[in-house]
Amino acid sequence: MGDFNLTVILDAIRRSTGGLSRVELAQIVGLSPQTISNISRRLLDQNLIVEAGKEGSGPGKPRTILRLNPDGMYAVGVHLDPAVITFVVLDLVGDVVKHSRIATPAGPPPVVIAAIADEIKSLIRESGVDAGRIAGLGVAAPGPIDLDEGAVVDPPLLSGWHRVHLRDALAEATGLETLVDKDVTSAAVAETWAGGASGTGSFIFMYMGTGIGCGIVMNDEVVRGTSGNAGEIGHIIVDPGGPACDCGLNGCVKSSAIPQVLVSAAEEQGVIDGGRQGSDGPEVQESFARLCDAADAGDERALAIIDRSAVLVSRAVAVVTNTLDVERVVFGGPFWGRLASRYLDLVPPLLASNSAANSIHGIEVVGTGVGEDVGAIGAACLVLEHTLAPRAQRLLLEG
């Protein structure tokens, strides 16, 4: 796109709820009416905006409203979770045009990458969008990631992924410009784009996936840290007398509160049958669904397992909210939906009682409105942001 003024104007139009007239645009961005007029013409020619009716009932001439053209540009988002891979095609206003999911293949990285590339091609075909209008591919991956190399570096719950150059591999396989970011950060980005009021200000996004991590937004800015790996909270100790962790201590989030641990507890107690094939993502997700079914059916032991996890997760949340002094906690991710009702009852009072700033301000606890595809939607938003936002996105990766 290459034109700073053009992206400033596009960004102003995007942030407005009902579109803007050229006069309003000139006032907001501080450019001359002539410049606004010239750039609007270019944006109309490129189909990135549309003229959307007139407005104004006063004595003056009614003003033509400029809005983003949803079909002017698309982005593809992929979220690689150890259990499930989610795909979306997003239009320019951030609406999902098409989405799909596949269980994460059990094979080595090249097999998984090939499956991702195939699914992207099918999804684009089925979506019916003009491939020439796809700005790029965003990928949300579990950390640690190496932003410089666009690589996934030994994520604890995705075995065999040792410094896999995901960005270059997918760019080559799909022909799309590709960005990689951490899964929890992508989820936070989605919340800022599509989450409405809960995506503003200072908040953490508690990502409830195969692992538990958090995305961080302070004063409307996503916090990625020095290498894009912010949000690692798996070794916060939440259960001092709890199970041993691979770090040598006891009762970390990772050893006491992730879905795999809940499922194992349910199996040991006979709440669900122990016929699970392995500890890989899809098996855990299936068993987790059965645990939640049991809880929904009133099984006290199943409920106790879930409620206990809410207590433990709230302790990790309190550590992060006390460190960062945020105003809101947004929960989401693939395992969130089944946990939501219990967590939304239990976490707020637990968090309030552990909040160092409780006498100064409360902390809002909400579930994301973005839905289960939040990681993939965030990944696609990265592409839109990179293409449209007027500021340099130096921390993102380009393939």
Residues that bind a second copy (CB under 8 A): 143-146, 153-154, 201-202, 214, 216, 218, 223-238, 240-242, 247, 249-251, 315, 318-320, 322-327, 354, 356-357, 359-361
Please choose, from the candidates 283, 259, 276, 262, the residue with its C-alpha nearest in 3D space to the C-alpha of residue 104.
Answer: 283
Token output for 183? 């899964």
Of the pair 285, 355, the CB lying nearest a second copy is at 355
Amino acid, single-letter form, for residue 113:
I
Of the pair 297, 392, the CB lying nearest a second copy is at 392
Please choose, from the candidates 136, 111, 103, the residue with its C-alpha nearest in 3D space to the C-alpha of residue 280.
Answer: 103
| CA gap 176, 72 in Å, rounded | 17
Of the pair 1, 218, the CB lying nearest a second copy is at 218
Of the pair 232, 372, the CB lying nearest a second copy is at 232
Bond from prior residue into 243 cis (ω within 30 degrees of 0): no
Of the pair 149, 286, the CB lying nearest a second copy is at 149
The H or E element that residue 113 is part of is helix 109-127
CB of 213 to a second copy, least distance (A): 10
Of the pair 131, 249, the CB lying nearest a second copy is at 249
CB of 362 to a second copy, least distance (A): 11
Number of Cβ within 10 Å of residue 256's Cβ equals 25
CB of 233 to a second copy, least distance (A): 6
Token output for 146? 């190496």
Three-class secondary structure of residue 229 per DSSP: coil
Beta-carbon contacts of residue 55 (< 8 Å; ≥ 6 apart): 21, 62, 63, 64, 65
CB of 395 to a second copy, least distance (A): 10
Q: Could you tell me how far CA 101 lies from the centroid of its own chain?
A: 15
User: Would you tell me the crossing angle of helices 259-268 and 281-296 to the nearest 10 degrees?
Assistant: 60
CB of 378 to a second copy, least distance (A): 18
CB of 305 to a second copy, least distance (A): 20
The region that residue 244 occupies, defined by phi over 0 for left and psi between -120 and 50 for alpha, beta otherwise, is beta
Please choose, from the candidates 349, 260, 342, the residue with its C-alpha nearest in 3D space to the C-alpha of residue 298.
Answer: 342
CB of 243 to a second copy, least distance (A): 11
CB of 156 to a second copy, least distance (A): 9
Q: What is the DSSP string of 298-321?
A: T-HHHHHHHHHHHHHHHHHHHHHH
Of the pair 287, 321, the CB lying nearest a second copy is at 321
Of the pair 188, 236, the CB lying nearest a second copy is at 236
| CA gap 80, 216 in Å, rounded | 20
